[in-house]
């Protein structure tokens, strides 16, 4: 399986995620072109998909919601996500990649 592109710095990690809103359940769907593909159950309206994404990642990664920030792509299916207080290896392990 290909590995997603993850930038790691002293604060945490930044990775690119491809979000597929309106799915039957929220889950990691694998890797697509260096991006983590995540299906979210919420619809793509009024930020609901973004809120669902942050809540899902917080649960999967064992971090607080305020440690997760969508730094680019607020209204785009391709997003840059920053997670503070975690390493790239931990991110991959907890997302099952």
**Alpha helices per DSSP H over 32-86:** 48-61
Determine, yes or no, domain membership for 79. yes
Whether residue 83 is contained in a domain is answered as yes
Q: Which structural domain, as residue segments, surrounds residue 26?
A: 6-95
Q: Domain for residue 38, yes or no?
A: yes
pLDDT score of 16 more than 70: yes
pLDDT of residue 88: 95
Cβ neighbours, 10 Å, residue 48: 14
Q: Which CATH number characterizes residue 86's domain?
A: 3.30.1200.10
Mean of per-residue pLDDT scores for the chain: 95
Number of domains in the chain: 1
* Residue 62 domain flag: yes
Q: Residue 1 falls within a domain, yes or no? A: no
Burial class (CB in 10 A: 0-12, 13-18, 19+), 5: middle
């Amino acid at each position: 399986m290909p590995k997603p592109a993850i930038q790691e710095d002293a604060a945490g990690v930044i990775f690119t995620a491809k979000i597929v809103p309106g799915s039957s359940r929220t889950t990691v769907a694998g890797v697509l072109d260096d991006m983590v593909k995540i299906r979210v159950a919420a619809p793509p309206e009024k930020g609901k998909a973004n809120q669902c994404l942050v809540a899902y990642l917080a649960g999967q990664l064992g971090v607080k919601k305020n440690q997760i920030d969508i730094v680019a792509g607020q209204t785009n299916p391709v997003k840059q996500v920053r997670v503070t207080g975690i390493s790239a290896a931990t991110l991959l392990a907890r997302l099952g990649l």
